[in-house]
Amino acid sequence: MRLDKFLKVSRLIKRRTVANSICESARVFVNNNPAKPSKTIKTGDIITIEFKDSIKKVRIIKVPEGNVSVNEAINLYEAVE
């Protein structure tokens, strides 16, 4: 699954267009490397997102096949640190 789609499906970022723009501005890292929106992610990858006033770091537990419900979205990742 693409990084921008995972960020949207997991509800880490509300819209895919916002996920695209954040990735393009080099504020999203996968395994400590800057990532483009088209980066393919897999289970175990660590995603770091730099927001304006905070940094969120998560480990991917499960990569879904498609869209998931709001209740299932929290089970796709776990917070790191």
Q: With residue 73 as reference, give the H or E element that holds it.
A: helix 70-73
**Average pLDDT value for residue range 57-75:** 92
Tens of pLDDT, residues 17-60:
999 999 999 999 999 999 999 999 999 999 999 999 999 999 99
Could you tell me the residue range of the domain that residue 54 belongs to? Answer: 3-79
pLDDT exceeds cutoff 90 at 81? no
How is residue 21 written in tokens? 């723009």
Query: What CATH number should be reported for the domain holding residue 42?
Result: 3.10.290.10
Q: State the pTM of this model.
A: 0.91
pLDDT of residue 75: 93
pLDDT of residue 67: 84
Domain total in the chain: 1
Rounded-to-integer distance, Cα 9 and Cα 66, Å? 8
